[in-house]
Structure 1
Amino acid sequence: MKVRKSRDEGFTLIEVLGATVILSIASLGMMAFFLHAMSYNKGNQNKTVMINLARNALFYMEKQSFSDLEIYFRGEGHDRIDLLSSGCEVTAGNLMCGQDPSVQPILSKLEGLWDVFYPEVNGKRYQVVVTYQKDLADGGVGKFKYLLPISVTVRERDISDITNSRRYQANVEGYIVHESIR
């Protein structure tokens, strides 16, 4: 009589289930990593858009009349251009600032200001605020007689004011230079 040897080749059901559980746990860990990387990438994409908008606004401000902006910042004593807080709106293609009448003559000269200060990119709305850096201006003497130091801040308009996170805003600094030395 021949005795057959048992064939214990292959995997048992328990071994297959164990391997599947271990592989699933490892896969979940990897998925969390990729989800975090995608979120980080999206945040960097938004930050890049905001930096480019801030550079665009800085370039726009650098091309404006130095004397008009000098009167606005140094003469009128305003420390920022923020169309939303000034109660400005576009009516029939003209910029109208109702709450503060002293800003109307200067800001109405700046063509395209509304489009630069309230752009929409990829379905997201942004707000641009230009701040005069009085502490760097040295009282308008010396080299600052011909320079207006400004800071341009861009933030998402739909984010609540409670969120002052740097993730939702970008800052760029520069100078408005007098026409005689441009």
Structure 2
Amino acid sequence: MLSEKGFSLLEVLLSLTILSIAFLAVSGFFQQSQQVSTDNNNKLVAVNLARMTLDRLQQSPTSYGVQPPFKNNYNRTTCGSDTTCQGAFAEKINSKDYEITISAAAADTTLKLLPVTVTVKQEDIVTSVEGFVRYEK
């Protein structure tokens, strides 16, 4: 006569199989959420770097080697051999390289404001922040 005190080997194997399938489904979710979190962190760094660059440009445009009003795009290649200027357009944050580009539209001569767009690029992430720089002519 068989005793009904425990589980059979078949029942244990079946429950382990079901738990393994559930675990694999959930682990894929965690891996995907980790990737999304990393991408969002990189975007946040790029946005904050663009805002910081715009603030610094508003305080001291000459720190980027430009004198308002300017109409060109400025980036690391427009600095020539000036390493200080080149360093202003390239940042390394969290072991990732960020490239900064500053571009401007036509200046408003009555208000003495220059519309500026700061673009930060890191691999496939491109972020832009727009603002105004006051200049004296």
TM over 0.5: yes
If the TM-score is normalised by the length of the shorter chain, which range does it land in?
0.7 to 0.9
- Residue from 89, 109, 118 that aligns with 1:117: 89
CA distance in 2, matches of 1:87, 1:46: 26
Cα pair 1:65 1:179 within 8 Å, conserved: no
* Alignment TM-score, normalising by the size of structure 2: 0.84
Partner of residue 68, structure 1:
67
SS at match of 1:68: coil
Runs of 4+ in 1 over 4 A off after TM superposition: none
Which has the higher mean CA deviation after the structures are superposed, 38-47 or 57-66?
57-66
Q: Distance in 1 between matches of 2:27 and 2:35?
A: 12
TM-score, scaled to structure 1: 0.65
Note the C-alpha offset of 1:48.
1.3
8 Å contact kept, 2:101–2:120? yes
Identity of aligned residues (%): 28
Unpaired stretches in structure 1, ≥5 consecutive residues: 90-94, 97-111
Preserved contact between residue 132 and residue 151 of structure 1 (Cα < 8 Å): yes
Task: Structure 2 unaligned segments of length 5 or more: list them.
Answer: none
Per the TM alignment, residue 114 of structure 1 is displaced from its structure 2 partner at its CA by 2.7
Larger radius of gyration: 1
**Does 2:12 match 1:16?**
yes
Find out whether 1:173 has 2:122 as its counterpart.
no
Query: Is 1:88 paired with 2:80?
Result: yes
